[in-house]
Amino acid sequence: MKTILCVEDDDLNRNFIKKLIEINNFRAVMAASAEEGLEIAAKNPPDLILMDITLGGMDGITATQKLKSDVRVKNIPVIALSAYAMQDYRDAALKAGCSDFITKPIDLKAFAAVLKKYLG
């Protein structure tokens, strides 16, 4: 079973996304901060990373840049999650190394399509 690491600091969103991952038949590993997510990714590299862009502490853009500069995990697709749908946020996420962008509130069909696109 393929594993998805979700880095999300909001408890409600984290629990909701965990359920969405599991409903789509993937294993969910959750992190409440960028630092925790980076540590998990380095120790047990997942198949895909969902990264909230507006995390408290280190933000998701910085965390993605760190992931993309680490040879152990740089090839793992990172999908940005954000309640901000503005083009500037999307552009910053893609420039940092994100492969795709999902806006919140999450559209269930679009979410499933993105997972399928990157994980088959």
The pLDDT tens digits for 10-40 are: 999 999 999 999 999 999 999 999 999 999 9
Look up the domain containing 32 and give its range: 3-115
- What whole-number percentage of the chain has pLDDT above 90? 92
Burial 7-40 (b: 16+ CB within 10 A, else e): bbbbeebbeebbebbeebebebbbbbbbebbbeb
Q: Which amino acid is at 2?
A: K
Q: Is residue 64 part of a domain?
A: yes
Q: How many domains does the chain have?
A: 1
pLDDT score for 85: 72
- Is 115:106 a contact under the CB 8 Å cutoff? no
Cis preceding-peptide flag for 105 (omega within 30 of 0): yes
Q: What is the CATH classification number for the domain harbouring 84?
A: 3.40.50.2300
User: CA 84 → CA 28, 88, 90, 117, distances in Å?
Assistant: 24, 9, 8, 22
Q: Is residue 120 part of a domain?
A: no
Q: Is residue 19 part of a domain?
A: yes
Q: Is residue 37 part of a domain?
A: yes
Q: Is residue 106 part of a domain?
A: yes
The pLDDT tens digits for 82-102 are: 988 778 888 999 999 999 999
